Amino acid sequence: MAQSLFSSDQDCQLYVFAFDTQCESVLKAWKHPRLKVVSLSEFENEALLSVKKERTTAEYCWTCTPSVLDYCMKAYGLDHCTYLDADLFFYSSPRPLIEEMGDKSILITEHRYSPEYNFSRECGIYCVQFITFKADAEGLRALDWWRKACLEWCFDRREEGRYGDQKYLDDWTERFQGVHVLKHLGGGVAPWNVQQYEIRNNDGKLYVRQGNTEMPLVFYHFHYLAVLSSGRVHYGPYRLTDSHRLHIYRFYCDQLMSVRKLLTEKNPDIPLHSDMRDGFLRRFYHKPLRQRLRPIENMCEMKYV
């Protein structure tokens, strides 16, 4: 993700919050001039530490999402900040997405689910993957509300209209002023919505087309993708075309293999793959959601050669 962002935008500054010492040491050794690595000892405060023990690793990461944004804007004096999921890959600059929000204070992105994967009720209308706040009155008010809500409740289960840090966003267009919902087709393409789009490669640049509308692909969310030691790639129980695999997944896997080779040479003790097939299929979604999906076998893997 970091490499793709730096290649796509020459002016961005990336703040990475390292949730383990191995991640921290590897990224600090990179010494990239536009990368700032923030350790847990720098970031964690009393409020976060008070809930840490009652949450799983994933739940604690979700709990921290709004606190990460709050920390960056206050510690580094930023006038705006965008949270990024680590499993994004940028194919072009995200600058047009930020510019689209204009004078609004908050930018959120819809899941845009394909009908067969519509989990809006369970997982939320909007995806936390790419969310921007300005350091103005409305932006900070919404961010503070979200931060307090996640401290109070942020778990990997669904209850009372809540799920993790994400379903809190469902009513933001009514709850807060200055909220802009992203319209750019190229922002937020993911395995749960890519079935709606035609992906076109024009001289090495990817475009997303839906009906008569075509826009550059800005980023793709490689949700739950895993490269196994066998050379197979899990991409979940989603229907992908050969074009999706060739233009999007193949290129991303090439980049992953390149990074893995580099990390292996410099850090031979780092575990860089996991044979987690059974666990992956059990954990991908809770049972009620899995029952709504198409059969998983023979559609969730491709061979990486």
pTM above 0.85, yes or no: yes
Residue 45 domain-assigned (yes or no): yes
Residue 289 lies in a domain: no
> How does DSSP assign 236-277, residue by residue?
-S----HHHIIIIIHHHHHHHHHHHHHHHHH-TTS------H
Residue 271 lies in a domain: no
For the chain, the farthest-separated pair of C-alpha atoms sits apart, in whole angstroms, at: 52
Q: Which domain holds residue 36?
A: 2-184
pLDDT by residue, tens only, the chain of 305 residues: 999 999 999 999 999 999 999 899 999 999 999 999 999 999 999 999 999 999 999 999 999 999 999 999 999 999 999 999 999 999 999 999 999 999 999 999 999 999 999 999 999 999 999 999 999 999 999 999 999 999 999 999 998 889 999 999 999 999 999 999 999 999 999 999 999 999 999 988 999 999 999 999 999 999 988 877 666 777 878 889 988 988 999 889 888 888 888 888 887 777 655 444 434 433 443 444 444 444 333 334 454 44
Q: What is the CATH number of the domain that holds 43?
A: 3.90.550
pLDDT at 266: 83
On whether residue 245 sits in a domain, the answer given is: no
Q: Is residue 59 part of a domain?
A: yes
Residue type, 230: S
CB atoms within 10 A of CB 275: 12
Instruction: Give the DSSP H or E segment for 203.
Output: none
Q: What pLDDT is recorded for position 227?
A: 73
CA–CA separation, 156 and 59 (whole Å): 6
Contact 43, 30 (CB under 8 A): no
Q: Looking at residue 261, what is its pLDDT?
A: 85
Confidence at residue 160, expressed as pLDDT on a 0 to 100 scale:
82
Q: Looking at the domain assignment, is residue 299 inside a domain? A: no
Element (H, E) at 133: strand 126-134
φ, ψ of residue 31 in degrees (nearest 5):
55, 45
SS3 221: strand
Q: Is residue 109 part of a domain?
A: yes
User: Which two structure tokens, joined as six digits, stand for 209?
Assistant: 């087309």
Number of domains in the chain: 1
Residue 52 is predicted with a pLDDT of 97
Helical (H) or strand (E) element with 99: helix 95-100
Which two structure tokens, joined as six digits, stand for 173?
Answer: 């267009």
- Does 241 fall in a domain? no
Residue 69 has which token pair?
């944004």
**Three-state DSSP state, 152:** helix
Report whether 233 contacts 223 (CB < 8 A).
no
- How far apart CA 200 and CA 180 sit, in angstroms, is 28
- Burial degree of 87 (CB within 10 A; 0-12, 13-18, 19+): middle
